[in-house]
Structure 1
Amino acid sequence: MPLKWLLYWQTNAGTSVNTQILAEVTQCVESINTVKGGRWKNTLNYYRANTRDPSTANQADFPRDLMGITLQEQPDKYYFIIHSQRIVVEADTMIPMIMEKLQSYRSRVSINFEGFQYKLGDFQLRVGKMVPLNQDSLKGIVMEMEYLPISSLDKSRHIMEEFLDMWQEIVSRRSLPGRFMHIETNFAEYGLPDHYTSHHSVVQYAAMMNHLLSSGRN
């Protein structure tokens, strides 16, 4: 599958993300002769083990926290990531309903990443907002930068870096209070190959969210 980098908007000190920045970023994308496509949406859930459940309470190696993700590119799959153990698991989309019935894990927070996608030559760009489920409050801005011809992480690095530099220059002309950031992720820690898969996308979303949580930006 095509390779992608996940970017997030990092605000300058003393400022916060808002809808005006999102609108300006969207205008930047539309100003470079992109072709606007349909909407896109990914959803992330944080799960906490139900310690009152006898099946989980007395197992020291039972994951206390799970992160579940649905990706638009794989609508019939549901992904779990256990960050502390560097494990990514692929499951059926029915698994959240089963977990809810078993009450072994409870969903603590649900976050949607949603917006529009754009085509620019060999690149597919997805720009969107990060909002908690059933809320309108904007918590962040994300961008998926996808290169369609290549799926090798190593072979595509130079092309992706050049495109990111070009994109940063375009955004900088707007003098916005912040910039897009890309987190370098060690996919080998999760046993993932050089060939890009949806598991790589899951790891990138988890790495981004862990960074935002630790820095208090979300």
Structure 2
Amino acid sequence: MPIKWILHWQPNPGTTVNSQILSEVSQCAESINGVKEGRWKSTLSFYKAMAREQTLANDFPRDFVGISLAEQPNKYFLVIRGQRLVVEAESSIQMIMEKLQSYKTRVALNFEGNQYQLGDFQLRVGKVVPMHSESLRGIVMEMEYLPISSWEKSHQIMGEFFDLWQEALSKRSLPGHFVHIEPNFAEYGLADQYSLQHTAVQYASITAQMIATSQSVQATRN
């Protein structure tokens, strides 16, 4: 499948994300001839173990991330960052976990926005909001290059496109910038050929980064 980078918005020190920045980013995608192609939505949940006995707690992960991706909503991806595991399951596993009450959802986030086509590139610009809320927690962008599925071979062209994007966005003088953090996919046992599991690992990584950034901002204010 096509290669994809997932980026998140890093606000400048002393600033936060807001809907105006999201609007400007979307307008930037259109200004570089991006053709809007509809909406997209993915979801991510943080699960925490409900194990009542210490022996059980030692045998099972204390927490993990569950992800439903826009491309394949009938699948559900579990990312256990502590053990560097990513597992693909049927979406029905969410109902099973709920009935077993072995894990509890701590935080559930929606990633949703507009999709744009730019030649062989596809951009998805979206907001990050808690489920059942419109409180903006972050901004993400999926950058996909359709002709290549090799992570290594795609680096140069993805990097060049990202530079062009950053240059176009810089003209708007926004208080922040997009950041690309590349996970070590080999640690998760993932090969060079790109897959939805690569996407799930990226989402887990950027969400952890966004939460850490948000917490550090709050700590600074306090």
TM-score by length of 1: 0.96
1:206 matched residue in structure 2:
204
User: 1:216 Cα deviation (Å)?
Assistant: 2.8
- 125, 137, 140: which one aligns with 2:138: 140
Write out aligned runs for 1:152-163 (5 A).
152-163=150-161
RMSD: 1.3
The correspondence of residues 6-155 of structure 1 with structure 2, limited to 5 A, is 6-52=6-52, 58-155=56-153
The gaps in structure 1 that reach 5 residues or longer are none
Percent sequence identity over matched residues? 62
CA distance in 1, matches of 2:173, 2:122: 24
- Identify the residue that residue 220 of structure 2 maps to in structure 1: none
Shift in alpha-carbon separation, 1:97–1:147, aligned structure 2, 3 A: same
Deviations 1:171-205 (A, max 9, x none): 00000000010002110010100000000001101
CA–CA distance in structure 2, aligned partners of residues 58 and 26 of structure 1: 47
Q: Which amino acid aligns with 1:49?
A: A
Provide the rounded CA distance (Å) in 2 between the counterparts of 1:13 and 1:72: 32
Instruction: Determine if contact 2:61/2:80 at 8 Å carries over to the other structure.
Output: yes
Q: Distance in 1 between matches of 2:90 and 2:13?
A: 41
Deviant stretches of 4+, over 6 Å: none
Q: What SS class does the counterpart of residue 115 from structure 1 fall into?
A: strand
SS at match of 2:67: strand
Answer whether contact 1:37 1:118 (CA < 8 A) is retained: yes
Query: How far is 1:36 from its partner?
Result: 0.6
**Number of the residue aligned with 1:194:** 192
Give the TM-score normalised by the residue count of structure 2: 0.94
Equivalent position of 1:177 in the other structure: 175
Report the residue type matching 1:81 in the other structure.
V
Q: Distance in 2 between matches of 1:157 and 1:212?
A: 23
Q: List gaps (5 residues or longer) in structure 2.
A: 218-222
Deviations, residues 62-107 of structure 1 (Å, cap 9, x unaligned): 1010110000111210010100000001111111111111101111
Q: 1:215 aligns with which of 203, 213, 216?
A: 213
SS of alignment partner, residue 59 of structure 2: coil
C-alpha distance in 1, partners of 2:87/2:94?
A: 13
What's the offset of the Cα at 1:58?
A: 3.0
Given that 1:50 and 1:57 are in contact with CA atoms closer than 8 Å, whether structure 2 keeps it comes out as no
Structure 1 residues 106-155: Cα deviation after superposition (integer angstroms, max 9, x where no partner):
11110000001000000000000000000110000000000000000111
Whichever residue aligns with residue 153 of structure 1, its letter is W
